């Protein structure tokens, strides 16, 4: 853990408050790994910030979306993952996460702790969004991991994609694809393989259930959006009625 810093250590080094650290994390200026309930930050990245040598083209790994009730969505997503024991995440229509991954695997932590890995993940999610627009609900990322997904709709239009995964097919020996091997310059190949081997394996029968589970969870997301829209409409009517001529 010497290679990672706590939030408090980052605050002390950068001379900023806790809120600023999380804001930098959300907008992509910092990358972090959540271990349990605590964020940890790569020491080399913080040192790079101080020295002005940090890789400057990192893809934001989480983005704020004030149009969606993210706190409520995160709670529902966490509950889904707690019950199903499967990882889950919400991404926007550009493939950028808008919630934190629930029950992330060791492989996810490893790959997304550097800019190249985050870009690989976001690129895969952006491709999933395009595939979902054609009606697909099963996706395969550049590492060969599988996902189930479904759009969240508001007013009949997609606003986010709910993804469950990634997972491996049970009984099929596999290893990271060439795309992840390109990350070897940043992560040791044996670390990648070791983390990949811990990814959840599902049978095809278990995979079939994911579609209905994802659909049920998306219904919960959409019901919140409908209630919020109805509440906003009621407030507008009240405002119109009480407006002084």
Residue 197 within a domain: yes
Same domain, 41 and 109: no
Mapped onto helix, strand or coil, the DSSP state of residue 93 is coil
Indicate the pLDDT class of residue 50, thresholds 50, 70 and 90.
low
Same domain, 112 and 186: yes
Kind and range of the H or E element at 163?
A: strand 157-169
User: Buried b / exposed e across 148-178, counting CB within 10 Å, b at 16+?
Assistant: bbbbbebeeeebbbbbbbbbbeeeeeeebee
Average pLDDT over residues 222-243: 72
Residue 131, pLDDT > 80, answer yes
Same domain, 94 and 204: yes
Average pLDDT value for the chain: 80
For the ranges 10-19, 68-77, 129-138, the maximum mean pLDDT occurs at: 129-138
Same domain, 103 and 159: yes
The pLDDT value recorded for residue 178 is 46
Same domain, 33 and 75: no
Least confident range from 17-21, 29-33, 58-62: namely 58-62
Residue 243 within a domain: no
In angstroms, the Cα distances linking 197 to 108, 175, 177 are 12, 8, 13
Same domain, 42 and 79: no
Same domain, 43 and 75: no
Same domain, 110 and 179: yes
Residue 179 within a domain: yes
Counting the structural domains of the chain, the total is 2
Pairing label, strands 33-35, 38-42: antiparallel
Average pLDDT over residues 171-176: 62
The pLDDT value recorded for residue 120 is 86
Q: Could you tell me the residue range of the domain that residue 188 belongs to?
A: 70-230
Least confident range from 83-92, 93-102, 154-163, 203-212: namely 203-212
Residue 59 within a domain: no
Residue 242 within a domain: no
Average pLDDT over residues 149-171: 91
Looking at per-residue pLDDT, the higher value among 24 and 156 belongs to: 156
Residue 205 within a domain: yes
Residue 222's CATH number: 3.30.450
Same domain, 18 and 120: no
Residue 63 within a domain: no
Same domain, 41 and 153: no
Kind and range of the H or E element at 190?
A: helix 189-196
Same domain, 44 and 79: no
The pLDDT value recorded for residue 140 is 92
Residue 180 within a domain: yes
Same domain, 100 and 186: yes
Q: Dihedral sign, CA of 148, 154, 156, 158?
A: negative
């Amino acid at each position: 853990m010497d290679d990672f810093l706590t939030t408090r250590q980052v605050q002390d080094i950068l001379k900023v408050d806790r809120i600023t650290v999380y804001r930098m994390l959300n907008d992509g200026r910092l990358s972090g790994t959540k271990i349990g309930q605590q964020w940890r930050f790569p020491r080399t990245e913080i040192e790079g910030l101080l020295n002005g040598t940090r890789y400057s083209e990192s893809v934001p790994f989480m983005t704020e979306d004030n149009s969606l009730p993210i706190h409520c969505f995160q709670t529902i997503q966490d509950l889904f993952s707690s019950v199903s024991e499967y990882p889950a995440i919400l991404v926007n229509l550009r493939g950028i996460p808008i919630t934190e991954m629930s029950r992330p695997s060791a492989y996810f932590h490893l790959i997304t702790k550097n800019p190249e890995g985050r870009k690989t993940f976001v690129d895969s999610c952006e491709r999933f969004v395009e595939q979902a627009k054609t009606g697909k609900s099963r996706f395969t990322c550049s590492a060969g991991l599988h996902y189930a997904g479904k759009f969240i709709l508001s007013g009949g239009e997609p606003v986010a994609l709910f993804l469950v995964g990634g997972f491996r097919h049970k009984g099929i020996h596999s290893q990271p694809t060439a795309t992840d091997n390109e990350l070897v310059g940043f992560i040791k190949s044996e670390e990648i393989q070791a983390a990949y081997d811990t990814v959840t394996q599902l049978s095809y029968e278990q995979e079939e259930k994911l579609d209905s589970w994802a659909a049920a969870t998306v219904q919960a997301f959409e019901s919140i959006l409908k209630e919020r829209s109805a509440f906003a409409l009621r407030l507008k009517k009240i405002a119109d009625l009480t407006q002084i001529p």
